[in-house]
Structure 1
C-alpha cells in the first residue's frame, strides 16, 4: 500500500472531524453557553452561563495570524505551556514519518482553511472528541478537545492552582513565611522536587532551616511548629525561585 498523499489525508481528517463535531455538539451544546475560558495551566476549557459550567481537557494545536496569514504549531511556541502542547509532538513525529512537511515546520505562511486541516489531523491522531476555536480579532487559537470533565473533577483540578501577580496562573505550593523574604534561609522540602514535575496527590511544600529545627524539636508538625512556620500559599514558579536562592545554603 503506497503513501497516502497529504491533500487526501487532510481532506479525510476534515470529514472525520465534521462527524465528530456533530456528535459532540449533539451531546454538549457548547455554543449555547455565554462565556468560554481556557487555562493552559489546568489544561481545561470551560464554557459557562452563570454558575452552569461545561469543562473539557484540551490541547492547543496552534495559532493562525489573520494579520500576517501565518500558522504556528503550539510545540514551536515558547509562550504555550507544556501542559497543553507536549502531546502535539506526536503530530510532528507522524509528519516526519510520512513526509508531510506541513506537520513538521513550526511556523510558515498558511490560511485559516489549512489551520482547520491541521486541527482535524490532530483530532484524528489524538482521538479527540471535537475541536474549538475561541473568537478573536487577529490571532485564532485552535484546540482539540480530548475529554469531558465533570464539574466536581474540574473544581478539584482548578483548586490546585493559584493566580500569581508575577507568574499568572500556576500550580499552588506551600512555603513558610520566612521563605517569602527571598533570602538565604535554607530550603527543606517534604519530598525532592524539580520544575514541571507531574504531581498527583501531593503539593510542593518547603520551609526554612529555623522551621526545620523547631519541627524536629517538636517531633513533627504540631500547633507550635505550624504557628512558627506561618505557612503561605505561592505559585510553583515562585517556589522554585525561592529554591534557587537557597541552593547550596546550609
Structure 2
C-alpha cells in the first residue's frame, strides 16, 4: 500500500477547493441571496431572496464547536440523519486505509482551520462542486455541495415532507383518523414498511385501522364512502412508525 504524505495531501485539497469555490461562486453567486436554509430530511440546502430560490444537494461533513474547540465528524453524530452523512463515511475509510487517525476518530480537539482542511479533503473524495459553512455563533456546520437541483425538482422533493411539532421535518405519511388515537386499533398498510426505508417519489407510507379495512372490503376498495370513514390525516414518518409499533410491536 502506497503511503500518502498527509500534510501535502491536505494542502493540495485546500488549493483544489479554493479553485473549485471560485468556479462555484462565479456560476451561482450564493452570496447574492438574502436567506439560506438547510434540511437534513430532504438533503437540500436552499438559498433564497423572496420567491427566487437556488437549491443544492449537500453532505454534512462535520461540526466545529467554537466554545470547546472540538471537531465532530457527521458519521459519528447520532443527531445527523443518514440522508446527509452517509457519503462522509468515505473519509473514515480513507483514514483507516492510510492510517490518519483524525479521519477515523469521531470527536477530538481541533481548530476552524483544520475543519476547512477536513472539508477540502471531503470535497475531493466525494467529488463535490463546492463547500458551505452556514453562519453561526458557536457551532459551525461544514458542508460539501454535490449537485445543483433545479427549482421544480426541489419543490417536488420538499412537497414529500411535512413539519411535525414532535419530530421536526420528516417524510409525509397518511393514516386514518382512528390511528391518531395512538392505541391498538389494528394496522393495515398499502405495502410492507420499515423505518428509514428508501421510497420512490411516487410512493407514500399509508396505513389504516381494522375498522377501516372492514369498510374498505365492503366497498370493494377505496371509494368516497370508505375514504370518508377513514378520514385520512397527514403525519410525519416518525409518527407513522410510532403508531405501527403501538399496534404491532414490530421492534
Fold in common (TM above 0.5): yes
Cα shift readout 1:33-73 (whole Å, capped 9, x = no counterpart): 01100001110000001111000000100000111110000
Please give the secondary structure, in 2, of the residue aligned with 1:246: helix
1:13-32 map, 5 Å: 13-32=13-32
In structure 2, what is the Cα distance between the partners aligned to 1:199 and 1:180?
23
Q: Which runs of 5+ in 1 are unaligned?
A: none
**2:220 aligned partner:** 219
Aligned length: 249
* Cα deviation, residue 78, structure 1: 0.9
Cα shift readout 1:132-151 (whole Å, capped 9, x = no counterpart): 00000011000000010000
Please give the secondary structure, in 1, of the residue aligned with 2:248: coil
**1:208 aligned partner:** 209
After the TM superposition, list the runs of 4 or more consecutive aligned residues in structure 1 that deviate by more than 2 angstroms: none
**1:36 aligned partner:** 36
In structure 1, what is the Cα distance between the partners aligned to 2:243 and 2:68?
40
* Cα deviation, residue 2, structure 1: 3.9
In structure 1, what is the Cα distance between the partners aligned to 2:92 and 2:174?
37
**1:73 aligned partner:** 73
* Cα deviation, residue 248, structure 1: 6.0
Could you say if the C-alpha distance between residues 168 and 228 of structure 1 is closer, same or farther in structure 2, counting changes exceeding 3 Å? Answer: same
* Cα deviation, residue 90, structure 1: 1.2
| Residue 244, structure 1, aligned to residue 245, structure 2 | yes
Q: Which runs of 5+ in 2 are unaligned?
A: none
1:123-134 map, 5 Å: 123-134=123-134
In structure 2, what is the Cα distance between the partners aligned to 1:179 and 1:139?
39
**2:136 aligned partner:** 136
In structure 2, what is the Cα distance between the partners aligned to 1:168 and 1:60?
18
* Cα deviation, residue 82, structure 1: 1.0
In structure 2, what is the Cα distance between the partners aligned to 1:166 and 1:65?
26
Please give the secondary structure, in 2, of the residue aligned with 1:45: strand
Please give the secondary structure, in 2, of the residue aligned with 1:194: coil
| Residue 92, structure 1, aligned to residue 89, structure 2 | no
* Cα deviation, residue 9, structure 1: 0.8
- TM-score normalized by structure 2? 0.97
| Residue 150, structure 1, aligned to residue 131, structure 2 | no
Could you say if the C-alpha distance between residues 186 and 6 of structure 1 is closer, same or farther in structure 2, counting changes exceeding 3 Å? Answer: same
Please give the secondary structure, in 1, of the residue aligned with 2:203: coil
- TM-score normalized by structure 1? 0.98
In structure 2, what is the Cα distance between the partners aligned to 1:194 and 1:113?
41
In structure 2, what is the Cα distance between the partners aligned to 1:99 and 1:170?
37
In structure 1, what is the Cα distance between the partners aligned to 2:90 and 2:2?
22
Please give the secondary structure, in 2, of the residue aligned with 1:157: helix
